[in-house]
Structure 1
């Protein structure tokens, strides 16, 4: 075997040059041949949309596309199909390398439970917001006579009245009985015909009723502002909170609050 001579300075330079050249070849081979080959450089796969797919479908589906998956989280979704994909990372449409693992969030089979809140005496709108914040669903509203309009009187789940503090599954519909703004007590409607409108309005409101529609009428024989007719008529049964419509001589003014 012939050895390189380093007896002269020229031989030494030649020896060093060969070592440097060999090193450069090794580095270039590693970065431009071995590394791209080992990492599948330039070969990417578009991540498919896996949402709503079942775990049974995923294995073969991803294997055919040179991808893998791992369940990283579970969540409950009201109305969702258990053991199906709810979310994924990377997101659909992303470009990844072969063999990349897709992390999945799966819908739970069993719903977690929460504590039933107290909705009684809340408004139906407040109750709806509170139910939504706890993962519950507003169900049907049933109205009953009560002076508190849209005030929650009772709360039900699965057809049974449910007390505050009871455990209830997320996603459960909660039905509410609410007030219609009218009382339960019936009495005879007051007689306001022949009274000036302001006195009639005071009498109506003082009876726990509300002034309803004011219909202008033309009657030259009576003073402007006089009530000539009412509905319901005097003496008819009426419930607390209901309205009394009146017919008034002359144009209707807006100096009296009819909403009370």
Structure 2
């Protein structure tokens, strides 16, 4: 009597679990394994044109390229990449690059006639730091 009452829900749950297991163990491995896995190359320090050629040759998709000032690399060179170098990725994966726009140039403010303390504060406001101080007593 109890079995008759719960027969349909129990059979539904068992069927649902069997379906999930079938998809997980048979269908998904076939689908996931169909796409070739590759190692993400190191693009950091390469010219953007060379990086684009490498990305195209590996069937990856260049999603976005942004620029940022960086004193370590000249303008047009890759400074950051996502995915990181050496990661195992699938063909067709999106790649995001940040390239250097060169060293940021700013106009140095005039410090003539200022005290060392005022000069230091002015430089810090511009993101600079005070180096050697030279005094000109006859100028």
TM-score by length of 1: 0.37
CA contact (8 A) 2:81 2:95 kept: yes
Separation (CA, whole Å) in 2 of partners of 1:138 and 1:50: 35
Shift of 1:48: 1.5
Separation (CA, whole Å) in 2 of partners of 1:78 and 1:63: 28
Report what 2:88 is aligned to.
Answer: 95
Q: Alignment length, in residue pairs?
A: 127
Shift of 1:49: 1.1
Separation (CA, whole Å) in 2 of partners of 1:50 and 1:132: 34
Q: Residue 29 of structure 1 is aligned with which of 13, 22, 25?
A: 22
More strand by share: 1
More RCO (CA 8 Å, sep 6+): 2
Shift of 1:74: 1.1
TM-score by length of 2: 0.60
Q: 1:118 to 1:33 in 2, by over 3 A?
A: farther
Shift of 1:47: 1.8
Q: State the Cα RMSD in Å.
A: 4.3
Unaligned runs of 5+ in 2: none
Q: Is residue 77 of structure 1 aligned with residue 73 of structure 2?
A: no
Cα offsets for 1:55-114 (capped at 9, x unmatched): 221233123333232335211224632222111122222232332212111122795x64
More helix by share: 2
Report what 1:46 is aligned to.
Answer: 39
